[in-house]
């Protein structure tokens, strides 16, 4: 039962209706018997700074941050973690007595979800997208000592800024160069929002996919066209569900100091997506 003692968690984004984080976290809160409530907060771009102020004023103990604010929100925080600073993006905020600390648990979540595929350390990876989640993925791949990471984005300015930040060792190519680059790739990652909405096409023509190419799509709220295409040709694949769970578990630990049941979180989400 919600009372005056109930502490609030939440997620900031725009739009926010696609997020499964409230379902996942509230299920864990109930299972663990904690006096917490996790709420979705749809925040328009013009209201972001005021939303951050509200986290302080209302004593919200922590929030997740999703599209499109993972990078823009950094300037409103008091301090950010080493990983978040390298990435230039935050997806988790912890409120400690009115001071807001930013973390990037996407880094941890992606690495945990794909660790079996990159254990050899000699993989070539091609990734579409240069946004906040792409930066977290890039850093985790670099720290895993992969052989080569190539990225591309339809926004050439964003791609240029990406390569001039903490990721100078990354090769940045233009969209028309993707067919040439994917030939030598062992792993293909979609780190764009393409596929999130019903009816979205794949971010890459299926003729460029191969059976020996591991396909990873960060989208988790539906089976995307990219995943369907990978299935059809018998390629190994993964969606963003495990990444969502692992990053969420890390966020929960930062907020509460408690380790949530990861397998239970996965079951909750898989049941909801069915």
Domain boundaries, the chain: 7-103+242-273, 108-239
b/e map 158-175, b = 16+ CB within 10 Å: ebeebeeebbeebebeee
| pLDDT at position 1 | 81
| pLDDT at position 119 | 66
Domains 7-103+242-273 and 108-239 share a fold: yes
CA distances from 47 to 53, 88, 99 (A): 10, 21, 20
| pLDDT at position 263 | 96
| pLDDT at position 166 | 62
**Residue from 31, 44, 70, 145 carrying the catalytic annotation:** 70
| pLDDT at position 76 | 98
Q: pLDDT by residue (tens digit) across 169-217? A: 789 999 999 999 999 999 999 999 999 888 999 999 999 999 999 999 9
- Quick check: is 99 catalytic? no
| pLDDT at position 169 | 73
Which of helix, strand or coil describes residue 51?
Answer: helix
Task: Tell which CATH architecture fits domain 108-239.
Answer: 3-Layer(aba) Sandwich (3.40)
Place of tokens 């799509």: 217
Q: pLDDT by residue (tens digit) across 65-109? A: 998 999 999 999 999 999 999 899 999 999 999 999 999 999 999
- Dig out the tokens for 14 from the structure: 């725009």
| pLDDT at position 221 | 85
| Domain 7-103+242-273 = CATH 3.40.50.10860 | yes
Q: Report the distance separating Cα 191 and Cα 134, nearest Å.
A: 6
CA distances from 244 to 53, 218, 269 (A): 26, 9, 10
Q: pLDDT by residue (tens digit) across 35-77? A: 999 999 999 999 999 999 999 999 999 999 998 999 999 999 9
- Dig out the tokens for 46 from the structure: 């013009």
| pLDDT at position 158 | 85
Strands of the 124-128 sheet, one edge to the other: 171-173, 148-152, 124-128, 187-190, 214-217, 237-238
- If you ran DSSP here, which 8-state letter would residue 61 be given? -
Q: pLDDT by residue (tens digit) across 126-181? A: 999 998 899 899 999 988 888 899 999 999 888 888 777 666 678 999 999 999 99
Nearest-Å Rg of the Cα atoms of the chain is 18
* CA nearest to 129, candidates 186, 65, 195: 195
| pLDDT at position 165 | 63
| pLDDT at position 131 | 87
* CA nearest to 109, candidates 129, 139, 85: 139
Between CA 36 and CA 48, with CA 42 as vertex, the angle to 5 degrees is 100
Q: Is the pLDDT score of 234 beyond 90?
A: yes
Cis peptide leading into residue 186 (ω within 30°):
no
- Dig out the tokens for 68 from the structure: 């499109």
């Amino acid at each position: 039962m919600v009372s005056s003692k109930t502490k609030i968690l939440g997620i900031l984004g725009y739009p926010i209706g696609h997020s499964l984080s409230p379902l996942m976290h509230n299920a864990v809160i109930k299972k663990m018997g904690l006096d917490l409530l996790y709420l979705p907060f749809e925040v328009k771009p013009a209201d972001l700074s005021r939303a951050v102020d509200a986290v302080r004023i209302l004593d919200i103990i922590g929030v997740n941050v999703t599209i499109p604010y993972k990078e823009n929100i950094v300037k409103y925080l008091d301090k950010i973690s080493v990983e978040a600073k390298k990435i230039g993006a935050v997806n988790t905020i912890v409120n400690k007595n009115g001071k807001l600390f930013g973390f990037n648990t996407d880094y941890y979540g992606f690495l945990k979800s794909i660790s079996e595929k990159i254990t050899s350390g000699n993989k070539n990876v091609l990734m579409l997208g240069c946004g906040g989640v792409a930066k977290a993925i890039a850093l985790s791949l670099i720290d895993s000592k992969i052989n080569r990471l190539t990225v591309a984005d339809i926004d050439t300015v964003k791609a240029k800024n990406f390569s001039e930040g903490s990721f100078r060792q990354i090769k940045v190519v233009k969209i028309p160069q993707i067919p040439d680059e994917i030939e030598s790739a062992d792993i293909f990652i979609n780190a764009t929002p393409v596929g999130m909405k019903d009816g979205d096409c794949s971010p890459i023509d299926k003729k460029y996919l191969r059976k020996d190419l591991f396909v990873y799509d960060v989208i988790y709220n539906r089976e995307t066209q990219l995943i369907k295409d990978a299935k059809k040709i018998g390629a190994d694949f993964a969606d963003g569900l495990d990444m969502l769970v692992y990053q969420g578990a890390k966020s929960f630990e930062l907020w509460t100091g408690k380790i949530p049941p990861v397998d239970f979180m996965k079951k909750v989400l898989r049941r909801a997506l069915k």
